[in-house]
């Protein structure tokens, strides 16, 4: 569905709207209109649509990515900022990230020990991002070797494959409700069953952490911290809030990061000059004895530019996440009624020839001349404003 809208946006210019039954959808593909979305109308557009999937797999649209703008959402953002992305937590979880990266590098070096070897990186990057996230949240590994519990890991992996068919705009009935009726409720039935299974899975994780509360090994995960907060604020940190956060962070943070890593590797392989410069930078900054302890992105500016250029050309969420207007507003001279769905076409803005020099070429060096500076509305892979990605640290 989103791909169709994205293709249509290419044909129909900076702003175009479509009406699906009672739902008005506006796709914004111009930087100046995006500026209006995230400055003048940032609060008005800070709501999310209520999709059927949100009802059944996001606790009736109350999780961080699905909930309406307001006190509950603000609280969830605060929890994520403190429990996952605060400097203290990021420092504490550094050992997890280093360990998982070491495992990946070891695996790659073992495979190429004898001779040049072909490696399928996509699944390895997925394992990396899932293992890092699940370890930070629940202290478990579900992919590769040293899996905590094989049967539990298998169930988790299956759920993560299945979820792809439910999230995003996968249900045309969310746009034309009559289609839900024609479908005879089959999609909703599947959603209910999936929601029940994910809920049971997340509940088991919570119960397990609750019963092992004094086991020091599991004291440092996000679930443990949230369970401690539950003691002081039981009405707010309910099991449902915790389950919603766990599932939302897994859905939102793993695939996006893995896909970006895959594009970075693809760009490096297709641009030997860039690869050589990146390798030189690592050799100079870190040396041949790659000590992960000393490896930090802030000391590798060229590598940073490679990642940013990759996110420009291949944003993991080309239309961001859908926003919904909570009041009447205007964008680019058009009046939008309340309850309009607004899709921001980051993909088109990142490739707009009026904003970027030679937009389709992969050139990390463009950022040497400050090409991405100045207009903060032309590079938006993580969105902007209140609903921007909390993972952009």
Known binding-site positions for heme? 389
Q: Which stretch binds ligand HEM (CB under 6 A): 171-179, 209-217, 285-293, 384-392?
A: 384-392
What are the structure tokens assigned to 159, written together? 């759920």
Q: Cβ of 174: how many Cβ atoms within 10 Å?
A: 22
Q: Which is nearer to ligand HEM, 206 or 384 (CB)?
A: 384
Min. distance of Cβ 347 from ligand HEM in angstroms?
11
CB contact at 8 A, 182 and 175: no
Q: Does 381 bind ligand HEM (CB under 6 A)?
A: yes
Instruction: Name the nearest CA neighbour of 248 among 49, 53, 113.
Output: 53
Beta bridge partners of 17: 26
Min. distance of Cβ 59 from ligand HEM in angstroms?
14
Q: Does 49 bind ligand HEM (CB under 6 A)?
A: no
Min. distance of Cβ 358 from ligand HEM in angstroms?
23
Kindly tell me the burial class for residue 334, based on how many C-beta atoms sit within 10 Å of its own C-beta (0-12, 13-18, 19 or more): middle
What are the structure tokens assigned to 201, written together? 């899975």
Q: Does 382 bind ligand HEM (CB under 6 A)?
A: yes
Min. distance of Cβ 324 from ligand HEM in angstroms?
11
Q: Which is nearer to ligand HEM, 53 or 187 (CB)?
A: 53
Beta bridge partners of 343: 27
Count the residues of the shown chain that bind ligand HEM, applying the rule CB under 6 A: 23
Q: Does 389 bind ligand HEM (CB under 6 A)?
A: yes
Site string for ligand HEM, 122-161 (x = CB under 6 A): -----------x----------------------------
Candidates 41, 221, 256, 310; binder of ligand HEM (CB under 6 A) is: 256
CB contact at 8 A, 223 and 208: no
Strand pairing report for 329-331 and 334-336: antiparallel
Q: Which stretch binds ligand HEM (CB under 6 A): 154-162, 181-189, 256-264, 328-336?
A: 256-264
Candidates 27, 65, 343, 349; binder of ligand HEM (CB under 6 A) is: 65
Candidates 198, 260, 310, 345; binder of ligand HEM (CB under 6 A) is: 260
Q: Does 64 bind ligand HEM (CB under 6 A)?
A: yes
CB contact at 8 A, 163 and 194: yes
- The DSSP call for residue 47 is B
Q: Does 390 bind ligand HEM (CB under 6 A)?
A: yes
Handedness of CA 71, 247, 194, 66 (dihedral sign): positive
Q: Find tokens 């309850």 and name the residue.
A: 339
- Which residues 288-317 are close enough to bind ligand HEM by CB under 6 A? 316-317
DSSP 54-97: HHHHTTTTTSTTTSPSSHHHHHHHHHHHHHTSSHHHHHHTHHHH
Instruction: Name the nearest CA neighbour of 230 among 248, 251, 206, 250.
Output: 206
Min. distance of Cβ 264 from ligand HEM in angstroms?
10
Binding site for ligand HEM (CB under 6 A): 64-65, 77, 133, 248-249, 252-253, 256-257, 260, 316-317, 320-321, 381-383, 387-391
């Amino acid at each position: 569905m989103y791909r169709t809208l994205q293709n249509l946006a290419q044909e129909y210019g900076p702003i175009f709207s479509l009406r699906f039954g009672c739902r008005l959808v506006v796709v914004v593909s111009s930087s100046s209109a995006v500026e209006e979305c995230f400055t003048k109308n940032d609060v008005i557009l800070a709501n999310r649509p209520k999709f059927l999937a949100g009802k059944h797999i996001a606790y009736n649209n109350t999780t961080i990515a699905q909930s309406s703008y307001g006190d509950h959402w603000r609280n969830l953002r605060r929890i994520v900022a403190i429990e996952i992305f605060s400097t203290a937590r990021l420092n504490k979880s550094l050992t997890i990230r280093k360990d998982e990266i070491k495992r990946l590098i070891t695996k790659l070096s073992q495979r190429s020990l004898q001779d040049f070897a072909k490696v399928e990186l996509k699944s390895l990057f997925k394992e990396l991002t899932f293992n890092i996230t699940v370890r930070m949240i629940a202290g478990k590994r579900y992919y590769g070797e040293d899996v905590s519990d094989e049967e539990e890991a298998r169930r988790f992996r299956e759920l993560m494959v299945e979820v792809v068919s439910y999230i995003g705009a996968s249900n045309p009935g969310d746009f034309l409700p009559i289609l839900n009726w024609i479908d005879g409720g089959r999609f909703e039935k599947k959603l209910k069953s999936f929601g029940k299974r994910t809920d049971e899975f997340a509940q088991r994780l919570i119960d397990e952490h609750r019963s092992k509360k004094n086991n020091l090994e599991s004291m440092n995960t996000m679930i443990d911290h949230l369970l401690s907060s539950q003691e002081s604020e039981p009405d707010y940190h309910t099991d449902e809030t915790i389950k919603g956060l766990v599932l939302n962070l897994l859905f939102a943070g793993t695939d996006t990061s893995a896909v970006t890593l895959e594009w970075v590797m693809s760009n490096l392989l297709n641009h030997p000059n860039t690869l050589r410069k990146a390798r030189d930078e690592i050799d100079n900054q870190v040396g041949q004895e790659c000590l992960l302890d000393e490896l930090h992105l802030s000391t590798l500016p060229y590598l940073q530019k490679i990642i940013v250029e990759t996110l420009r050309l291949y944003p993991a969420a080309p239309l961001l996440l859908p926003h919904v207007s909570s009041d009447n507003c205007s964008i680019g001279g058009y009046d939008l009624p309340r309850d309009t769905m607004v899709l921001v076409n980051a993909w088109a803005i990142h490739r707009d020839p009026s904003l970027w020099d030679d937009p389709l070429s992969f050139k990390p060096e463009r950022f040497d001349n400050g090409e991405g500076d100045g207009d903060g509305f032309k590079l938006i892979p993580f969105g902007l404003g209140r609903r921007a990605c909390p993972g952009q640290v």
